[in-house]
C-alpha cells in the first residue's frame, strides 16, 4: 500500500503476527501446491506473508479460510527499507523469503528483472486478472520482457496533503479544505505558507514532519524522475530533481521541519502530539495516520497537494518467491487479496486506493467520507488524483537512489553538512549506486 512509505525510516524489530487462516488448494490452475484427494484430508501447510506495515489483511485471511481450511497463514512485518533489503538478501542467498512478499512501487523495478526468482503467476491462472487493472499498474508486475506475471497490484498512491485543522486555527490560517488548497498552488507557495505558520508560534509545532516526503512528492510530479526510459540514472543532472532538492533545503533552513523520519517511532509520537501540521498524503497514508495516532480523530482534514496534483507515491505488488513450497496456494491467496471486493474493503478500512479503475466510479468509493479526517470526501479526492496521475518510470535501483537523497537531507538537518557538501556527497553516492 505503500502504506508505509517509503521514505526515510529507521529499523524496527520485525513484528510477527500469526493469523489462523486456512486454505486448501481448491479451484485455481495447475501447479505444484498441496495434493488433493477426494477421500483424503488436505495436507496441512503454512504460508508466510511478508509485509512492511499493517495492510489490514486479517479479515481477508478469514475469507481465504472458508475455502482453504488446511492452511495456516503467518504474517511477518519489518520496517519499509529493512523489508526490501531483507528480500534482496534472501533472493541472493536462496533462503528466508516468504511465500508471499509485498514489494512497494519504488522497488518493483529492482525485483522484476529477477524473474527467475519468482513464480510466474500466469502458470496459476492469474493472467485472467489483466482486464481488472490500470494498464501501467499491470505492466509494473510483469517481467522486463512482458512474458511473466510476477505480481498483482494492491493499491496506488495518488497524492493529496493531510493537515491538522487545530494547528492551522492556532496559527491564524484557514481551516476549510478549499481555502487551504488555495494556500499552496505551488511548492514555493507551500514554503511561504510554512514560514507564516512557524512565525505565528501558536502551537510550537513545525510545518511538516521531515523533508524526505516533500522531496519525493516533488520529484514524482515531474515528467522524469531519477531514471530515464533507458534505465540510466539521471537524478544528478535532472533539473526537476535539483529544484526539489533546493526547495527542500529552503524548507529546512526556514525551520519548517520537525526533523522526524517517516514511520519511525518518534514520527508516530509526533503524529499524536501534534508536532507538525502538514504531511504529504497519498491515499494509503490516511490509514497509516489513523493507525499510528487514533486519538487525533477529527483533528485532520485533506487538501490538494502543492504543485497541481499528479504523482504516484507508493502502491504495492504481491509476489511469490520460488523459495516457497506451495505456489498454488500462494497464488490463490494473492488472487483473493487483490480482488475488486478486497480492494474495496481495504479502501474503506485502510485508505488503500484501488488499482482497479472500475472501482473509481463505484458509489462506495466516490461517496466515501472519512470521519477521522473531518468527514473529508476522500473517495472523490483520491480517485480524482488517481485519474490525473501519470506514472513515472522507476529504475532498478530507485529505492537506493531515493535513500541517497534522503540521507543527504538528513545530514543537512542534523548540521553534519552544508547543503553544498550534502549535494556533492549525494552525487558521489549515485556513482556508487550505478
Q: What is the pLDDT of residues 413-426, one digit of tens each?
A: 999 999 999 999 99
Reply yes or no on whether the pLDDT at 28 is more than 80.
no
Residue 122 near residue 263 (C-beta atoms within 8 A) = no
Residues 256 and 337 in one domain: no
- Report pLDDT for 21: 37
- Look at the pTM and tell me if it is higher than 0.75: yes
Residues 214 and 334 in one domain: no
Residues 117 and 166 in one domain: no
- Percent of the chain, pLDDT > 70? 90
Q: How many domains does the chain have?
A: 2
Residue 241 near residue 217 (C-beta atoms within 8 A) = no
Least confident of 37-41, 118-122, 279-283: 37-41
Give the β-pairing of 100-104 and 45-51.
parallel
- Report pLDDT for 86: 97
Residues 89 and 118 in one domain: yes
**394 is a domain residue:** yes
Give the β-pairing of 151-153 and 161-164.
unpaired
Q: What is the pLDDT of residues 289-317, one digit of tens each?
A: 999 999 999 999 999 999 987 777 889 99
Average pLDDT over residues 167-189: 97
**373 is a domain residue:** no
Q: Which of 103, 176, 177 is nearest to 137 (CA)?
A: 103
Residue 263 near residue 9 (C-beta atoms within 8 A) = yes
**7 is a domain residue:** no
**Sheet containing strand 300-303, strands side by side:** 206-208, 276-280, 161-164, 300-303
- Report pLDDT for 43: 87
Give the β-pairing of 71-77 and 15-19.
antiparallel
Residues 270 and 406 in one domain: yes
Phi first, then psi, for residue 16 (nearest 5°) are -120, 120
Contacts of 33 (CB under 8 A, 6+ apart): 25, 326, 327, 328, 329, 330
Q: What is the pLDDT of residues 52-91, one digit of tens each?
A: 999 999 999 999 999 999 999 999 999 888 999 999 999 9
Residues 19 and 66 in one domain: yes
Residues 237 and 333 in one domain: no
Residues 426 and 301 in one domain: yes
- Report pLDDT for 36: 43
Q: What integer best gives the mean pLDDT of the chain?
A: 90
**305 is a domain residue:** yes
Residues 184 and 214 in one domain: yes
The band of 35, judged by pLDDT with boundaries at 50, 70 and 90, is very low
Least confident of 201-205, 310-314, 319-323, 343-347: 310-314
Reply yes or no on whether the pLDDT at 4 is more than 60.
no
Average pLDDT over residues 14-23: 37
**371 is a domain residue:** no
**325 is a domain residue:** yes
Average pLDDT over residues 118-129: 98
Q: What is the pLDDT of residues 330-345, one digit of tens each?
A: 999 999 999 999 999 9
- Nearest-angstrom CA–CA distance, 279 and 276: 8
DSSP code, position 201: -
- Report pLDDT for 2: 53
- Report pLDDT for 40: 61
Residues 324 and 396 in one domain: no
- Nearest-angstrom CA–CA distance, 67 and 71: 10
- Report pLDDT for 1: 63
- Which single residue is written with the C-alpha cell 486519538? 295
Range of the domain at 338: 15-156+314-366
The band of 42, judged by pLDDT with boundaries at 50, 70 and 90, is confident
Residues 176 and 232 in one domain: yes
**Is 308 in a helix, a strand, or coil?**
coil
- Percent of the chain, pLDDT > 90? 81
Q: Which of 181, 342, 198, 303 is nearest to 257 (CA)?
A: 198
- Report pLDDT for 7: 38
Residues 414 and 287 in one domain: yes
**374 is a domain residue:** no
Kindly report the CATH number assigned to the domain that includes residue 60. Answer: 3.40.190.10
Higher pLDDT, 6 or 251: 251
Least confident of 37-51, 95-109, 187-201: 37-51
**376 is a domain residue:** no
Amino acid at each position: 500500500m505503500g502504506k508505509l512509505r517509503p521514505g526515510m525510516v529507521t529499523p524496527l524489530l520485525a513484528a510477527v503476527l500469526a493469523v489462523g487462516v486456512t486454505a486448501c488448494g481448491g479451484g485455481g490452475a495447475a501447479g505444484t501446491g498441496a495434493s488433493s484427494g477426494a477421500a483424503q484430508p488436505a495436507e496441512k501447510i503454512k504460508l508466510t506473508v511478508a509485509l512492511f506495515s499493517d495492510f489490514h489483511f486479517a479479515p481477508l485471511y478469514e475469507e481465504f479460510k472458508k475455502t482453504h481450511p488446511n492452511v495456516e497463514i503467518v504474517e511477518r512485518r519489518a520496517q519499509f527499507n529493512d523489508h526490501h533489503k531483507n528480500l534482496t538478501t534472501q533472493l541472493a542467498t536462496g533462503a528466508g523469503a516468504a511465500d508471499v512478499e509485498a514489494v512497494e512501487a519504488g522497488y518493483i523495478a529492482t525485483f522484476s528483472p529477477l524473474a527467475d526468482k519468482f513464480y510466474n503467476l500466469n502458470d496459476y491462472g492469474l493472467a485472467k486478472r489483466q482486464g481488472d487493472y490500470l494498464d501501467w499498474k499491470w505492466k509494473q508486475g510483469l517481467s522486463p520482457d512482458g512474458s511473466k506475471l510476477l505480481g498483482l497490484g494492491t493499491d496506488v498512491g495518488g497524492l493529496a496533503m493531510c493537515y491538522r485543522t487545530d494547528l492551522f486555527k492556532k496559527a491564524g490560517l484557514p481551516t476549510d479544505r478549499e481555502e487551504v488548497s488555495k494556500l499552496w498552488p505551488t511548492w514555493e507557495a507551500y514554503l511561504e505558507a510554512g514560514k507564516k505558520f512557524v512565525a505565528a508560534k501558536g502551537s510550537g509545532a513545525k510545518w511538516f514532519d521531515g523533508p524526505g516526503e516533500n522531496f519525493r512528492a516533488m520529484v514524482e510530479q515531474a515528467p522524469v524522475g531519477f531514471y530515464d526510459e533507458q534505465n540510466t540514472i539521471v537524478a544528478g543532472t535532472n533539473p526537476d530533481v535539483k529544484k526539489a532538492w533546493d526547495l527542500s533545503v529552503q524548507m529546512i533552513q526556514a525551520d519548517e521541519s520537525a526533523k522526524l523520519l517517516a514511520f519511525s517511532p518518534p514520527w508516530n509520537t509526533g503524529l499524536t502530539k501534534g508536532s507538525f501540521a502538514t504531511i504529504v498524503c497519498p491515499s494509503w497514508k490516511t490509514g497509516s495516520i489513523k493507525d499510528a495516532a487514533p486519538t487525533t480523530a477529527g483533528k485532520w482534514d485533506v487538501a490538494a497537494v502543492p504543485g497541481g496534483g499528479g504523482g504516484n507515491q507508493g502502491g504495492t505488488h504481491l509476489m511469490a518467491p520460488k523459495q516457497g513450497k506451495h505456489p498454488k496456494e500462494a497464488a490463490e491467496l494473492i488472487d483473493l487479496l487483490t480482488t475488486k471486493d478486497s480492494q474495496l474493503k481495504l479502501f474503506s478500512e485502510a485508505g488503500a486506493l484501488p488499482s482497479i479503475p472500475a472501482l473509481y466510479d463505484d458509489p462506495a468509493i466516490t461517496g466515501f467520507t472519512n470521519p477521522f479526517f473531518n468527514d473529508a470526501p476522500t473517495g472523490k479526492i483520491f480517485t480524482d488524483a488517481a485519474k490525473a496521475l501519470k506514472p513515472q518510470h522507476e529504475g532498478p535501483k530507485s529505492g537506493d537512489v531515493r535513500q541517497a537523497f534522503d540521507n543527504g537531507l538528513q545530514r543537512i538537518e542534523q548540521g553534519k553538512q552544508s547543503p553544498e557538501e550534502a549535494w556533492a556527497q549525494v552525487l558521489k553516492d549515485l556513482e556508487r549506486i550505478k
